């Protein structure tokens, strides 16, 4: 499949009956990240530390494909902005045709109504928009389950 690198912006939010620290941990601690991200792309894991200014890789254990992202802005337990800089293959060691590069993902947590609202705004390749709407919704239901 040839990718057009045309991005669509998707937005998703879910209310979780837990404090934002628990939601943040469910999102970014290694084991829980693997559980929810694996719904989107089986076997997904990260390489690198989630520190502002760092690059981090998100890689699929199944096919070795992934994306390298800059941690552009990070406020622990509140906000994360990732800017995708390269699409990779071979477990992140080589670049591949650009599909996600140039896109971004923003995660925001706001405590309200006795819990936390997780809001996500992210760019997805247009040809994957419908598939990702469904899989991200299921993934964030898993985050909710893990945090509550």
pTM of the model: 0.86
7-147 is a CATH 3.90.1420.10 domain: no
pLDDT tens by residue, 9-24: 999 999 999 999 999 9
Cβ neighbours for 79, distance < 8 A, ≥ 6 positions apart: 73, 106, 107, 108, 109
pLDDT tens by residue, 58-83: 888 877 777 789 999 999 999 999 99
pLDDT at 88: 63
pLDDT at 55: 93
Half-sphere exposure of 19 (CA within 13 A, CB side): 3
Q: Which residues of the chain have pLDDT under 70?
A: 1-5, 87-101
Q: Domain coordinates of the chain in residue numbers? A: 7-147
């Amino acid at each position: 499949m040839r990718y057009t690198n045309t991005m669509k912006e998707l937005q998703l939010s879910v209310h979780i009956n837990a404090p934002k620290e628990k939601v943040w941990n469910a999102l970014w601690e290694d084991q829980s990240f693997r559980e929810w991200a694996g719904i989107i792309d089986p076997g997904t894991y990260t390489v690198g530390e989630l520190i502002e200014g760092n690059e981090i890789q998100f890689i699929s254990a199944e096919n070795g494909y992934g994306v390298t992202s800059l941690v552009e802005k990070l406020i622990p337990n509140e906000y994360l902005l990732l800017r995708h800089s390269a699409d990779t293959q071979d477990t992140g060691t080589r670049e591949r045709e650009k599909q996600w590069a140039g896109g971004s993902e923003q995660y925001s947590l706001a405590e309200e109504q006795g819990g936390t609202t997780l809001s996500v705004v992210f760019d997805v390749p247009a040809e994957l928009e419908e598939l990702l709407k469904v899989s991200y919704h299921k993934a964030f239901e898993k985050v909710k389950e893990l945090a509550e």
